[in-house]
Amino acid sequence: MKKLIVAASCALAMAAGTVQAKDWKEIRIAFDVPYEPFEYKDENGELTGFEVELAEAMCAEMKADCEFVIQAWDGMIPGLVARKFDAIMSSMSITPERAERVLFSEPYYNTPGGWFGPDDFNTDVTDMEAMKGKTVGVQRGTTMDTFVTEEMGGVVTIKRYTTADDMVLDLEGQRLDVVFVDYPVGEQTVLSKEGFKEVGEPVKLGDGVGVAMRKRDKDLAGKVNATLKKLKNDGTYDAIMQKYFAYDVKM
Amino acid sequence: MPDFIAQWLDQNDIFTAMTIMEYWDGLVTTVQLVFLSLIVGLVCAVPLALLRTVKNPFVSGPVWVYTYLFRGTPLLIQLYIIYYGIAQIPGIQETFWWEIFREPFYPALLAFALNTCAYTTEIIRGAIVSTPNGEIEAAKAYGMSWWLRTRRIVLPSAARRAVQAYSNEVIFMLHSSAIASVVTIVDLTGAARNIYSRFYAPFDAFIFVACCYLVLTFILVFAFRKLESHLLRHQRPVQN
C-alpha cells in the first residue's frame, strides 16, 4: 500500500512538472520594490513602474497569467534557482558572473551610473589624484560597486550599502563625499533633495538589463525574447518608456 | 601573506588570496569590536550592579530604567538610532564629536557596549543579591566596613556565581556583532556579504564565515572553562 502511494505521488509530481514546464501559461515574475521609477507601489498600494508595465504588456502579448512576487535584492538569484519564481524583471544588469547562474534574455533597457554629491563638491571624479582619500558610497553587488571596486579600489574608501535609502542618509549626514548609483535612482533620491547635484558625467556600464530566468528554461527565454522584440518594434515599448523617462533607455 | 600561499590560493575560484585577506580584515574588526565593547561593558557593569542593589529607589531606579531600556529593545534598533540618529542632529558635523561619530566603528562600539553593559549589570546584580546572608553577617561580625565587605566578600563570591551566565553573554555578544555590517562596517559578516554578492555563492561565503565564528566561539568556551575551574577550584573534590 505504502509503495503504491509513493509511486502514485511520484507519477503525479512528474506529471505536474511536465505540464508546468511546457506551456508557460502561468509565470511568476519577481521585483524588488521600491526602485523608482522601475518598480514601486503607488498611493493605492498597487505595484507599478516601467518594468512592471513592460511585464504586463509582455504577459498580455504572450497570453500568460502572470503573478508578481516581491523579493529583496540579495535573495533574487537564490530565489530564482530555488523556484520561488520563474523570472526576474527587477533591473538586473547582465554580467558574466550572473550569466553563469541564470539565463538572460536580450537586454531591454540600459541606464548609466551617475555621480551625485553635495553642492560644494567640486572634484573631478575621473581624476584619481584628486579623488584620493574620498569616501564613495555604492549599493552592494551592483555594477556600480564592481566599477568603483575595480577602477578606484586602492584610491578611494568604498562603503557598501544594502539599500539606497541608507546610502542617501549617510550622504546627507556627510559620512560620504559622493555616491555612485544607478542614474534614475540618484535622480529620485539625491537630486530631489536641497543642496545636492550631479558631480560627474554618467558612466555607461555593462551590457544592459535583461530578464533573468533559470538556465534550463530555454523555451521560456525564447518566448520572452520574441515578445520583447515585438514590443520594441510596435511602439508599445516607447509608449511605456515615455511615461517614465525624459531620456532614452531603450536598448 | 607569503607569496607561495597567495599563488596557491589564486588557483581557487572564490577563496583567492584577496578574499581570504578580506575575511581576515573582517575577523580583526569583529574581534576588536567585540573585545572592546565587552571590556567597556564589564567595567561599567560592576559599579552599576552595586548601585542597582541599593535600597534607595532614587539610586537604583535610574539604573533599572537603563537596563530595562537596553534589554527591552533589539540591538539592531539601538544601532540604527545611534548611527543614523546622531548624524541627523543639526550642527553635529561642525563639532569635535563628528570626528568620533563620522566613522561607523565608534557608533557601533557605543551601541554594543551599552547593550552588553545592561545585560552584564543584571547578571552581576543577580549574583550579588544571592550572596548567602551568613557570609555578610560574618563579615559584619569582623567589623568590616561596607566597602571592605563588598571588595573582599560580596564581589568575589558574586563573580563565582556570575561567571557561567557571563560566558553566555560573551558568546551572544560575538554573534550579535554580526549586525555591525548593516552600518557599512566590514566585519566577518560584512566580508561574507561582500563576497556573496560578488560571486553569488551563498553556501561558500556564509559557511566559511560560520566556521570562523565557530572557531572564535571555541576559543571563548575554552577560556571560560579555564576561568571557571580557577574561580571554582574550592568546589572540586579533594584529590587523593
Q: Contacts of residue B100 in chain A, CB cutoff 8 Å?
A: none
Indicate yes or no: CB of A166 within 8 angstroms of CB of B93.
Answer: no
Whether residue A14 contacts residue A55, with contact meaning beta carbons closer than 8 Å, is answered with: no
Spatial separation of the C-alpha atoms in residues B213 and B175, rounded to whole Å: 8
Q: Cβ(B159)–Cβ(B230) under 8 Å?
A: no
Q: What's the longest Cα–Cα distance across chain B?
A: 73
- Give domain status of residue B186, yes or no: yes
Reply yes or no on whether the pLDDT at B131 is more than 60. Answer: yes
Is pLDDT of A247 > 70?
Answer: no
Tens digit of pLDDT for each residue in B69-87?
999 999 999 999 999 988 8
For the domain that residue B158 is a member of, what is the CATH number? 1.10.3720.10
Contact: A169, B87; criterion CB under 8 Å: yes
- In tens, the pLDDT along A160-180 reads 998 888 899 899 888 999 999
Distance from B189 to chain A by nearest Cα, in Å?
13
- Which pLDDT belongs to residue A207? 82
Q: How far is CA A217 from the centre of its chain?
A: 20
Asked whether residue B2 is assigned to any structural domain, the reply reads no
Q: How much of chain B, in percent, has pLDDT values that exceed 70?
A: 100
| Closest Cβ–Cβ partner in A161, A166, A173 for B88 | A173
Rounded CA-CA distance A249/A230 in Å is 17
User: Could you tell me which of A143, A162, A140, A139 has the C-alpha nearest to residue A151?
Assistant: A143
Report whether A24 contacts A223 (CB < 8 A): yes
Give the model's confidence band at B127: pLDDT under 50 very low, under 70 low, under 90 confident, else very high: very high
pLDDT given at position B126: 95
Chain A residues within 8 A of B93 when measuring between CB atoms = 173-174
Q: Walk me through the domains of chain A, giving residue ranges and CATH numbers.
A: 24-110+207-244 (3.40.190.10), 113-198 (3.40.190.10)
Do residue A170 and residue B87 have CB atoms under 8 angstroms apart?
A: yes
Tens digit of each residue's pLDDT (9 = 90 or more) over B50-70: 999 999 999 999 999 999 999
pLDDT score for A6:
63
Q: Which residues of B, range 70-109, sit inside 8 Å of A by Cβ?
A: 84, 87-88, 93, 98, 102, 104
- Between CA A116 and CA A110 the distance in angstroms is 19
| Cα–Cα distance, B112 to B41 (Å, whole number) | 8
Asked whether residue B11 is domain-assigned, the answer is no
Pull the grid cell for residue A79. Answer: 530565489
Sheet with strand A26-31: strands edge to edge: A65-70, A26-31, A87-88, A212-213, A103-104
Q: How confident is the model at residue A19 (pLDDT cuts 50, 70, 90)?
A: very low
Chain B residue numbers touching A169 (CB-CB < 8 A): 84, 87
Chain A contact for B200, CB < 8 A?
Answer: yes
Residue B153 domain flag: yes
Q: Per-residue pLDDT tens for A23-77?
A: 788 999 999 988 878 898 888 888 999 999 999 999 999 999 999 999 988 889 9
Q: What pLDDT is attached to residue B162?
A: 94
Residue B131 lies in domain: 20-231
| Residue A95 in contact with partner chain B when CB distance is under 8 A | no
Using pLDDT thresholds of 50, 70 and 90, give the confidence band for residue B44.
very high
What's the pLDDT score for residue A12?
Answer: 56
Q: How do residues A116-131 score in pLDDT, each as one tens digit?
A: 999 988 888 888 888 9
For B212-227, how does the pLDDT look when each residue is reduced to its tens digit (9 = 90+)? 999 999 999 999 999 9
Distance from CA of B12 to the nearest CA of A (A): 15
Give the pLDDT of residue B1: 73
Chain centre to alpha carbon of residue A142: 9
Q: Least CA distance to A163: which residue of chain B?
A: B182
Q: How far is CA A127 from CA A145, A158, A205, in A?
A: 18, 16, 19
Q: Alpha-carbon distance B79 to B81, whole Å?
A: 5
Average pLDDT estimate for A166-195: 88
State how many domains chain B has.
1
Q: What is the mean pLDDT of chain B?
A: 92
Q: Is A118 on the interface with B (CB under 8 A)?
A: no
Q: Is B129 on the interface with A (CB under 8 A)?
A: no
The dihedral built from the CA positions of residue B207, B210, B216 and B220, taken in this order, carries a sign that is: negative
DSSP letters along B58-105, please?
A: HHHHHHHHHHHHHHHS-HHHHHHIIIIIHHTSTTGGGSTHHHHHSSSH
A116 CA: distance to closest CA in chain B (Å):
19
Nine cell digits for residue A246: 525624459
pLDDT for residue A22 = 54
Q: Is the pLDDT of residue B10 over 90?
A: no
- Inter-chain contact A169–B199, Cβ cutoff 8 Å? no
Query: What ipTM goes with this model?
Result: 0.73
- A113/B119: higher pLDDT: B119
Nearest to A103 by CA among A213, A210, A250: A213
DSSP helix/strand/coil, B145:
coil
